Amino acid sequence: MAALIIRQIPARQDNYIYLAHEPETGLTAVVDPADAAPALEAAQSEGWKISHILNTHHHGDHTGGNLEIKQATGCTIVGPRADHDRIPGIDIDVGDGDTYALGKAVARVFDVPGHTRGHIAFWFGDSKALFCGDTLFIMGCGRTFEGTAAQMWNSLSKLKALPPETQVYCAHEYTQSNARFAVTVEPDNKDLLARVEKVNAMRSAGKPTVPDALGEEFKTNPFLRADLPALQQAVGSPGDPVATFATIRLRKDKF
Ligand code: ZN
Ligand code: FE
């Protein structure tokens, strides 16, 4: 068991690529490389050799750098078993309940379908790090492109069961627009209003709002709160978390 050293690399418009370095063995994974160049440059400047790519899902802004990084480093690509055919260069398939070891850092893998059919998340418990791609965002969640609201709610419920101190390393800086929407769902949520102030100040200062603690999401992310009676009442689906989630997701899609 070893704690990862994690570096965040901004890419494209609003993507985050991550380098996760396991210091005892020296193994280094790139998580969701949108493009090769920023990942290769960041690894070089750290003096780390990329040994693995971890993909959460098949979208191009998460796998666009796969083949070029593999070509340059000979790395091993790990991705969702359920989407084997859509992950460029995949070598190792993983899925729900698997453990995946990057050297001495061990992740539990969750299937979290909804955004895509084969989406997975990697939870490195000893590092308190969750790499969740486009499933959970700060104060938001991914669009349900290839799945149903019920699937997405079920996927988010798995992540919701992780410890509150878990850091959410999601793949996009969507926080401010998520925050603007969240206050329309819960205008009286004091934790939410305080957090919106905080993230606005961070963005004004040019700072990333990712990662942040999962416990903050429990208090402020409307998509994780669809099981709360007050929120269910507010959207007109008392006792029904899936319908509540579906309504909130639909509203956000049109926001
Ligand atoms: Zn995506
Ligand atoms: Fe994405």
CA 227 to chain centroid: 21
Query: Is 115 part of the annotated catalytic residue set?
Result: yes
Q: What is the maximum alpha-carbon separation in the chain? A: 54
In order of 173, 182, 208, 223, the CA distances from 176 in angstroms are: 8, 10, 11, 15
Confidence of residue 2 (pLDDT cuts 50, 70, 90): confident
Token pair, residue 113, equals 């379908």
pLDDT tens across 16-46, in order?
Answer: 999 999 999 999 999 999 999 999 999 999 9
Q: How many CB atoms lie within 10 A of CB 125?
A: 15
DSSP letter string over 97-156?
T-EEEETTEEEEEEE--SSSTT-EEEEEGGGTEEEEETTEETTEE---SSS-HHHHHHHH
Which residues contact residue 59 at a Cβ distance below 8 angstroms, ignoring those fewer than 6 apart? 116, 134
User: Which residues lie at CB < 5 A from ion ligand 2?
Assistant: 61, 134
Ligand 2 mean position, distance from CA 59 (Å): 6
Q: Which ligand is nearest to the CA of 115?
A: 1
Question: Which residue range(s) make up the domain with 197?
Answer: 5-253
Residue 176 burial by Cβ neighbours in a 10 Å radius (0-12, 13-18, 19+): middle
Nearest to 140 by CA among 221, 218, 227: 221
From the candidates 32, 111, 134, 212, give the one annotated as an active-site residue. Answer: 134
Residue 1 clears pLDDT 80, i.e. is over it: no
Q: Which ligand is nearest to the CA of 12?
A: 2
Query: Is 134 part of the annotated catalytic residue set?
Result: yes
Query: Is 21 part of the annotated catalytic residue set?
Result: no
From the candidates 21, 52, 57, 119, give the one annotated as an active-site residue. Answer: 57
Helix 175-185 vs helix 241-253: angle between axes, to the nearest 10 degrees? Answer: 120
Total domains in the fold of the chain:
1
Ligand 2 mean position, distance from CA 62 (Å): 6
The predicted model gives 55-66 an average pLDDT of 98
Query: Is 188 part of the annotated catalytic residue set?
Result: no
Query: Is 172 part of the annotated catalytic residue set?
Result: yes
Domain CATH number, residue 26: 3.60.15.10
pLDDT tens across 143-201, in order?
Answer: 999 999 999 999 999 999 999 999 999 999 999 999 999 999 999 999 999 999 999 99
Beta strand 92-94 with 99-102: parallel, antiparallel or unpaired?
unpaired
What whole-number distance in Å separates Cα of residue 106 and Cα of residue 124? 6
pLDDT tens across 120-152, in order?
Answer: 999 999 999 999 999 999 999 999 999 999 999
In order of 141, 177, 178, the CA distances from 255 in angstroms are: 14, 9, 10
From the candidates 35, 61, 83, 212, give the one annotated as an active-site residue. Answer: 61
- 118 phi and psi angles, rounded to 5 deg: -110, 20
Query: Considering the chain, what percentage of its residues have pLDDT values greater than 70?
Result: 100
Q: Which ligand is nearest to the CA of 170?
A: 2
19 Rama class: left (phi>0) / alpha (psi -120 to 50) / beta: beta
98-121 burial: b if 16+ Cβ within 10 Å, else e: bebebbebbbbbbbbbbbbbbbbb
> What torsion, rounded to 10 degrees, do the Cα atoms 58, 49, 43, 129 define?
60
pTM attached to this predicted model: 0.98
CB-facing half-sphere around the CA of 206: CA atoms within 13 A: 0
